[in-house]
């Protein structure tokens, strides 16, 4: 099958290569001319035989919007555009309506697999009309892992990215649990082999997983993770997951806490914790640490002698 691939970075480039190895003809375009097969989006569309299929793998937000807008001007009725980036699911319906006005189909696909996808295959979550999904199945079958799993037609337009968003939210929670367990093990005087403990969990335990395997790999490379600063960014999908939970009145305490933990990791001196420390000092006389790093005596705090209101006694 012939397909155009826009965005040939770590994910898009490997996906294009996996498709080529599977016997498909891929015409690739990227802002980097060194990896592009054509010089422009117009040239990419012209290189494909109608009805065309174009897969977009560019950053979510404005880059995706501008790419789809230009494709809408270049493509024809009967063509299909796939958005395989990490777009917000609410944008998918807008894009589908815009392209649909020209008779161009739109399918959103959440893609998971990272840098290992070329070798192991990609988990694919697709949203869109059944007619479009069925036409694209040769592409999906090549990209997904071998076996019955790894692909799902999740539902209507937007369902693919919604499923990927929830997947990433679950990932946040799982990683946070591993991280907290690691910190607690490190804090114990009795524990002498933290990497060995994680490695021992890879077989026979209920928490064995690919994430656990990756954790062991990281500890093998850096035994105490001393070469890594304790700051974790977020891609945005964690925020969208929490917002969707609010919109649907679904409680997500674990995922929400994991997202907020990432925010906290970026603060060398957390403003929120300053408030907590000050209040604990005021009502309980607990010691505080000054900005200079000096530990003050809690009993000397001005508010320690202030009596609590009757309802708090």
**140 in the same domain as 18:** yes
* CA nearest neighbour of 54 among 1, 17, 128: 1
Q: What pLDDT, on a 0 to 100 scale, did the predictor assign at position 261?
A: 86
Question: Is-catalytic flag, 171?
Answer: yes
Q: What pLDDT, on a 0 to 100 scale, did the predictor assign at position 231?
A: 73
Q: What pLDDT, on a 0 to 100 scale, did the predictor assign at position 304?
A: 37
Q: How far apart are CA 52 and CA 37, in angstroms?
A: 17
Q: Containing domain of residue 63, as a range?
A: 2-157
**172 in the same domain as 261:** yes
- Whether the full predicted model's pTM is greater than 0.85, yes or no, is no
Active-site residue (options: 17, 70, 129, 171): 171
For 116-146, the pLDDT digits (tens) are: 899 999 999 999 999 999 999 999 999 999 9
Supply the CATH number for residue 193's domain: 1.10.1040.10
Q: What pLDDT, on a 0 to 100 scale, did the predictor assign at position 115?
A: 80
**152 in the same domain as 194:** no
CA atoms within 13 A on the CB side of 87: 33
- Look at the chain and report how many structural domains it folds into: 3
160 vs 273: which has the higher pLDDT: 160
CA atoms within 13 A on the CB side of 21: 12
Judged against a pLDDT cut of 80, whether residue 313 lies above it is answered with no
Active-site residue (options: 17, 102, 164, 183): 164
Average pLDDT of the residues in 13-17:
96
By DSSP bridging, strand 25-29 and strand 2-6 are: parallel
For 245-301, the pLDDT digits (tens) are: 999 999 999 999 989 888 888 877 655 556 666 666 776 677 777 666 566 555 443
By DSSP bridging, strand 105-112 and strand 80-83 are: parallel
**276 in the same domain as 246:** no
Q: What pLDDT, on a 0 to 100 scale, did the predictor assign at position 14?
A: 95
Supply the CATH number for residue 146's domain: 3.40.50.720
Q: What pLDDT, on a 0 to 100 scale, did the predictor assign at position 121?
A: 96
**196 in the same domain as 121:** no
74-83, 85-94, 156-165, 285-294: least confidently modelled range: 285-294
**17 in the same domain as 149:** yes
Judged against a pLDDT cut of 60, whether residue 9 lies above it is answered with yes
Q: What pLDDT, on a 0 to 100 scale, did the predictor assign at position 276?
A: 63
End-of-domain residue from the set 157, 178, 200: 157
For 212-257, the pLDDT digits (tens) are: 998 898 998 888 888 877 777 777 888 999 999 999 999 999 999 9
Question: Is-catalytic flag, 164?
Answer: yes
**104 in the same domain as 234:** no
Judged against a pLDDT cut of 70, whether residue 189 lies above it is answered with yes
Residues forming beta bridges with residue 2, ordered by sequence position: 25
């Amino acid at each position: 099958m012939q397909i155009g691939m826009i965005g040939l970075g770590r994910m898009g480039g490997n996906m294009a290569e996996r498709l080529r190895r599977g016997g498909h003809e891929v015409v690739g375009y990227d802002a980097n001319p060194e990896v592009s097969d054509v010089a422009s989006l117009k040239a990419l569309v012209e290189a494909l035989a109608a009805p065309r299929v174009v897969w977009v793998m560019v950053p979510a937000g404005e880059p995706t919007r501008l790419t789809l807008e230009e494709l809408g001007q270049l493509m024809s009725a009967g063509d299909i555009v796939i958005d395989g980036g990490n777009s917000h699911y609410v944008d998918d319906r807008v894009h589908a309506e815009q392209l649909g006005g020209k008779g161009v189909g739109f399918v959103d696909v959440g893609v998971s697999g990272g840098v290992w996808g070329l070798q192991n295959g990609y988990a694919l979550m697709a949203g869109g009309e059944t007619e479009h999904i069925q036409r694209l199945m040769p592409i999906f079958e090549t990209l997904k892992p071998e076996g019955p799993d790894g692909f799902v037609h999740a539902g209507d337009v937007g369902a693919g990215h919604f499923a990927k968003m929830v997947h990433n939210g679950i990932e946040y929670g799982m990683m946070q649990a591993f991280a907290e367990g690691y910190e607690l093990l490190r804090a114990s005087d009795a524990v002498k082999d933290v990497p060995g403990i994680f490695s021992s969990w890879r077989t026979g335990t209920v928490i064995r997983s690919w994430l656990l395997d990756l954790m062991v790999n990281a500890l093998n490379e850096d035994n105490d993770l001393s070469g890594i600063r304790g700051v974790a960014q977020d891609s945005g999908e964690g925020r969208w997951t929490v917002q969707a939970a609010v919109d649907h009145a679904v409680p997500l305490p674990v995922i929400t806490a994991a997202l907020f933990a990432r925010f906290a990791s970026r603060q060398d001196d957390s403003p929120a914790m300053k408030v907590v420390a000050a209040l604990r000092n005021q009502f309980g006389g607990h010691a505080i640490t000054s900005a200079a790093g000096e530990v003050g005596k809690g009993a000397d705090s001005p508010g320690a002698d202030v009596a609590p209101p009757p309802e708090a006694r």
